Amino acid sequence: MFTITKEVYFCYGHRLMNHAGKCRNLHGHSVKASIAIQQEQLNEQGMVCDFADIRDCVEAYVDLHLDHNFLLHKDDPIIPMLIANNERFLALDEHPTAEVLSKMLYQHLKQSGFNVAQVALWETASAYACYSES
């Protein structure tokens, strides 16, 4: 099995409603997403795939949904204020954790035709969450 990994970087704001720790407060992250793609066989150019294809797919999704966006649970009471002030946000069915975001990226890549092995989202330099289907 051949595996390649591409890293992408972006920023977002969020809060985790009802969290016991300080993550219940509004805050932001500069994150690194590490994307592993696998193939049994290399393509005709001797690659799993082109790194640029991964970058283009992920960056388009990130730019549209995540980068410099405010990610909130759909029931967050701050949403009406954001709407009233024409602020950008994304309301999620789940709490906007690193785990949930790594799954979102994984699913987007899979739906785009990549054989994704894993997506890891580094929320800080020392903490990350991974999603894979294995």
CA-wise closest residue to 99 among 123, 134, 67, 66: 123
Beta bridge partners of residue 74, listed in sequence order: none
Beta bridge partners of residue 127, listed in sequence order: 124
The overall pTM is greater than 0.85? yes
Residue 68 — pLDDT band, cuts 50, 70, 90? very high
How many residues would you count in the chain? 134
Output the pLDDT for position 29: 96
- 36-64 pLDDT per residue, tens: 999 999 999 999 999 999 999 999 999 99
Give the number of other CB atoms < 10 A from CB of residue 82: 15
Output the pLDDT for position 102: 98
Please give the average per-residue pLDDT across 113-124, as a whole number: 97
Top-level CATH class of 2-131?
Answer: alpha beta
